[in-house]
Amino acid sequence: MIPRELPADLVTFIGRTSEVTDVVAAVTGATPAAVVVSGPPGSGKSALAVRAAHAVAADYPDGQVFVDVASQPSVTAEEVLGRVLRALGLPAAEVPEGVDERAGWYRSRDAGRRILLVVDGVTGAEQVRPLIPAGPGPARG
């Protein structure tokens, strides 16, 4: 099963055209990159990220994974990796323990695939650092 987890795009989305264009360009370039959308609460970061993700979804035929950690600000990288591994089809009982082993399994499952990963509500780089590829590959937002 190929994950298609993006939340619904907004019917009405006003402004931020240049920001959406910048995010789209970053994740569709020759070397897709990790993209950070930052700003104060309520400024539309999630809407912008979801809008951009929908704009590029077709470029990521191996899946789009959306993880919302906003309701759990203390979520760890280990928990985020577990969620992503399950979304990519690894049965919960087979998800390894520990951030390093989960990160290794993630890199192995992700290698050579075009997967868009959006992690919303991140409060610190430590929550997502193990998800950033070491070289060219899938986009992260």
Half-sphere exposure of 115 (CA within 13 A, CB side): 26
- Asked if residue 118 belongs to a domain, the reply is yes
Task: Look at residue 137 and tell me whether its pLDDT is greater than 70.
Answer: no
- Asked if residue 23 belongs to a domain, the reply is yes
Question: Going by DSSP bridges, is the β-strand pair 116-120/64-68 parallel, antiparallel, or unpaired?
Answer: parallel
108 CB neighbour count, 10 Å cutoff: 8
- Asked if residue 53 belongs to a domain, the reply is yes
- Asked if residue 88 belongs to a domain, the reply is yes
Residue 38, domain extent: 17-131
When comparing pLDDT for 71 and 11, which is higher?
71
Number of domains in the chain: 1
62-89 per-position pLDDT tens digit: 999 999 998 887 899 999 999 999 999 9
- To the nearest 5 percent, what fractions of the chain are helix, strand and coil? 40, 10, 50
- Asked if residue 5 belongs to a domain, the reply is no
- Asked if residue 11 belongs to a domain, the reply is no
Q: Rounded distance, CA 119 to CA 116, Å?
A: 10
Confidence (pTM): 0.87
- Asked if residue 60 belongs to a domain, the reply is yes
- Asked if residue 137 belongs to a domain, the reply is no
Residue 28 pairs in a beta bridge with none
When comparing pLDDT for 16 and 23, which is higher?
23
